[in-house]
A and B are shown apart, each in its own frame.
Chain A
Amino acid sequence: MMDEQPKSTVQEDIERLFLLPEGQRVLSCIQCGTCAGTCPHGEYMEYTPRKIIAMLRAGQIDEVINSKSMLKCLSCYACQLKCPRGIKLTDVLLPIIKGKVFESIVEMPPDLQRSFENTLRYGNPMGESPKKRAEWTKNSKVPVRILKENPAPVDVLWIVECYPSYHPRGIDVTLATARTFHRLGIDFAILGEEERCIGDCAGYFGEFGLQEALIEYSLNIFRKYKFNRIVTSGSHAFNTFQRWYPRYDFNIPVHHAMPFIATYIDRLKPFLKKPLNYTVTYHDPCCLGRCVGVSLPECFYHQPRILLSSIPGIKVVEMVHHRENSICCGGGGGGMWLDTYFKAEGMERLSERVVKEAVAAGADVLAVSCDYEISRFEDAVKVLGLEEKIKVKDIMELIDESAGGDETL
Chain B
Amino acid sequence: MKILVLIKMVLDTVEEIKIDPSGKKVDTDAARFILNDVDNHAVEEAILLKEKYGGHVTVLAVDAPEIDDALFTAAAKGADRIIKVTTGMEQMSTQTMAKLLHSAIQNMNTQFDLILTGVQASDDIDGEIGPSLAAQFNLPYIGMAVKVLPDPQGRSTEVVTELGGGLYASYRSSLPVIVGISAAEKPPRYVPIMKVRMAMKSKKIETIPAPAPPPGSKIDVLKLYKPVVTGGAAMITGTPEQIADNLVKIFRDRGLS
B16 contacts chain A at the CB level, 8 A cutoff: yes
Candidates A113, A208, A209; contact of B196 at CB < 8 Å = A209
Residue of A nearest to B202 (CB): A4
Residue of B nearest to A214 (CB): B193
Within the assembled complex, what's the spacing in Å between the Cα atoms of A213 and B195?
12
Instruction: State whether A209 touches B202 (Cβ < 8 A).
Output: no
Instruction: State whether B194 touches A208 (Cβ < 8 A).
Output: yes
B34 CB contacts on chain A under 8 angstroms: 121
B166 contacts chain A at the CB level, 8 A cutoff: no
Question: If the complex has contacts A1-B78, A127-B14, A129-B16, are A209 and B195 also in contact, measured as CB distance less than 8 A?
Answer: yes
Contact with A along B170-199 (1 / 0, CB 8 A): 000000000000000011011011111111
Contact with B along A247-283 (1 / 0, CB 8 A): 0000000000000000000000000000000000000
**Which of A71-79, A101-109, A335-343, A352-360 interfaces with chain B?**
A101-109
Within the assembled complex, what's the spacing in Å between the Cα atoms of A128 and B13?
10
CB under 8 Å from chain B, chain A span 1-25: 1-2, 4-5
Instruction: State whether B193 touches A120 (Cβ < 8 A).
Output: yes
A389 contacts chain B at the CB level, 8 A cutoff: no
Within the assembled complex, what's the spacing in Å between the Cα atoms of A4 and B197?
14
Instruction: State whether B192 touches A207 (Cβ < 8 A).
Output: yes
Within the assembled complex, what's the spacing in Å between the Cα atoms of A110 and B190?
9
B29 contacts chain A at the CB level, 8 A cutoff: no
B80 CB contacts on chain A under 8 angstroms: 1
Within the assembled complex, what's the spacing in Å between the Cα atoms of A377 and B195?
36
Within the assembled complex, what's the spacing in Å between the Cα atoms of A311 and B54?
68
Name the distance in Å between A103's Cβ and chain B's nearest Cβ. 6
Instruction: State whether A5 touches B198 (Cβ < 8 A).
Output: yes
Residue of B nearest to A109 (CB): B190
Instruction: State whether B14 touches A122 (Cβ < 8 A).
Output: yes
Within the assembled complex, what's the spacing in Å between the Cα atoms of A127 and B76?
22
B76 CB contacts on chain A under 8 angstroms: 1-2
B62 CB contacts on chain A under 8 angstroms: none
B15 contacts chain A at the CB level, 8 A cutoff: yes
Instruction: State whether B190 touches A116 (Cβ < 8 A).
Output: yes
Name the distance in Å between B138's Cβ and chain A's nearest Cβ. 33
A120 CB contacts on chain B under 8 angstroms: 193
A131 contacts chain B at the CB level, 8 A cutoff: yes
Residue of A nearest to B186 (CB): A107
Residue of A nearest to B203 (CB): A1
B75 contacts chain A at the CB level, 8 A cutoff: yes
B189 CB contacts on chain A under 8 angstroms: 106-108
Which interface residue of B75, B192, B198, B202 has the most chain A CB atoms within 10 A?
A: B192
Contact with A along B121-132 (1 / 0, CB 8 A): 000000000000
Question: If the complex has contacts A4-B202, A5-B198, A131-B15, are A117 and B190 also in contact, measured as CB distance less than 8 A?
Answer: yes
Name the distance in Å between A198's Cβ and chain B's nearest Cβ. 16
Name the distance in Å between A62's Cβ and chain B's nearest Cβ. 19
Within the assembled complex, what's the spacing in Å between the Cα atoms of A131 and B192?
26
Name the distance in Å between B244's Cβ and chain A's nearest Cβ. 14
Instruction: State whether B186 touches A102 (Cβ < 8 A).
Output: no
Instruction: State whether B190 touches A108 (Cβ < 8 A).
Output: yes
Within the assembled complex, what's the spacing in Å between the Cα atoms of A287 and B15?
32
B193 CB contacts on chain A under 8 angstroms: 120, 207, 209-210, 212-213
Name the distance in Å between A378's Cβ and chain B's nearest Cβ. 14
Contact with B along A111-145 (1 / 0, CB 8 A): 00100110011100001110100000000000000
A residues whose Cβ falls under 8 Å from a Cβ of B: 1-2, 4-5, 102-103, 105-108, 110, 113, 116-117, 120-122, 127-129, 131, 207-210, 212-213
Listed by A's residue number, 11 A-B pairs whose Cβ atoms lie within 8 Å are A2-B76, A2-B195, A4-B202, A102-B192, A107-B189, A108-B189, A113-B190, A117-B190, A128-B14, A129-B15, A209-B192
What would 16 more interface pairs be, CB under 8 Å, given A1-B199, A120-B193, A129-B16? A1-B78, A1-B80, A2-B195, A2-B199, A2-B202, A5-B198, A105-B190, A107-B187, A121-B34, A131-B15, A131-B16, A209-B196, A210-B192, A210-B193, A212-B193, A212-B194
